[in-house]
Chains A and B, each alone.
Chain A
């Protein structure tokens, strides 16, 4: 049957046309198209991956920013606390220093007072002894002679007075 027997002319031309078409497309078109297809597929894959990563990074950076803010707040609080502490410390220190200074002044005053008291005592004693001597001199000049025993007696009496004071 004619339908099932290949005609030589058509086989010949089919071979020529197909071989030529194959040659032209294989040389000038397909490698380029296939390469572009592959490249584009790869690019899209990469793009998706990149977008995913970028989103992840964005999420991460938000969390990080929050972390930093929290940290900063914590630091701020700490600094404030420290400042308050330092303030009270300074006040206390100042108070202590003032106390010490005051004490010093007081001590110096006490010393001066003590000295003055001692001086005045010494003076007082000298004056008293001079008074007593003059009194005794007057008494003795009046009724008795100057005696060594009487001077001793007077000295003894004066010592007693001093011990009493």
Chain B
């Protein structure tokens, strides 16, 4: 049975190599694959959401831009998808704004100049963001509804899983770290955890509701890190600020030249920056490796023909599978680490004055 399965799988994978060769031949005359472009296209953002198995079709999404004169334009992404121009806007195919919506305006010398309008389009990432938020709301409100309906009875099935995750974070991290202040900060920390976890996991699903590289996008992690930054510092205790500007170190470390205060102030900003980069790099790296492993099939098929491509596909699918499983684990770990470190930073800023003798 196992043998048959292996043979079948190998055959299917080999077929993908054939099709890879075929499509490669069709799409690009040179037979060369621009791997870098493909990788960055998949990691980045797009107007419109591609439909699986149909590269030229995509779900249109609204583009919202403000031109240089200050008026707003809202139109469907399908109008500019294939390089057309609409109301003076088009998607740049090269230059600094490659892949983004740009417009043209008259320059100083009268010639038309390309410029980037203020762009708050509902891109693929924004749509994914909204879907994630809805999924999170659905999950969390289902738990709430359960409690409202059944009281103290333990939840079942899906609700129980959500509750397990919530309890794991709340009882495992938030309450032991923050103690009596846990209920005050728990809503933020739990929202962060569930939201990051949902974004990570949905990002691993390749087709429609998922597939957006959200937490692997620095804009998303930056906003999350900024939230932690502001909550940490706005709710920081007096002792926290005193420790930053007048830490308990020998006087020469802080008096004529404030060495320690400078380091501490620097630390305020490096903490959320570390949060931002850690989540971003981990998730982006995971996505990138899976894409590269998949691309290896096409590269080898292009280089050494079908047989080599077929051989590679077996290996690379096995590796991709392994990487995706690993990414599932990483999704959880990174969401957990982000929450744990946020909790830690907040609790450090909450520390009451301790008396060292």
Contact = CB atoms under 8 A, between A and B. Distances in A.
Is B one of A's binding partners?
yes
Interface string A21-33: 1101110111111
Interface string A8-37: 111111110110111011101111111111
Nearest to A5: B218
B118 interface: yes
B214 to A, nearest CB: 9
Given A3-B284, A21-B191, A29 B222 contact: no
B73 interface: no
A29 B141 contact: yes
B152 A21 contact: no
A10 B191 contact: no
Given A24-B137, A36-B152, A30 B120 contact: no
Nearest to B122: A13
A22 B188 CA distance: 7
B183 A7 contact: no
B191 A12 contact: no
Given A9-B119, A10-B220, A21 B195 contact: yes
Interface residues of A, number: 36
B133 interface: yes
Nearest to A18: B223
A40 interface: yes
A5 B187 CA distance: 30
Contact of B123 (A10, A18, A30, A33): A10
B171 interface: yes
Nearest to B142: A29
Contact of A26 (B144, B171, B187): B187
Interface in A26-65: 26, 28-37, 39-41, 43
Given A13-B130, A18-B195, A26-B188, 12 more contacts: A2-B44, A3-B44, A9-B120, A10-B129, A14-B129, A17-B130, A17-B133, A28-B141, A30-B191, A32-B147, A33-B147, A40-B154
17 contacts: A6-B219, A9-B126, A10-B129, A11-B219, A11-B223, A13-B129, A14-B129, A14-B220, A14-B224, A22-B188, A24-B137, A25-B140, A26-B187, A26-B188, A30-B186, A30-B187, A30-B190
Interface of A: 2-15, 17-18, 20-22, 24-26, 28-37, 39-41, 43
The 5 closest A-B CB pairs, nearest first, are A26-B187, A6-B219, A30-B187, A10-B219, A14-B223
Interface of B: 40, 43-45, 98-99, 118-123, 125-126, 129-130, 133, 136-137, 140-141, 143-144, 147-148, 152, 154, 163, 166-167, 170-171, 182-183, 186-188, 190-191, 195, 217-220, 222-224, 227, 284
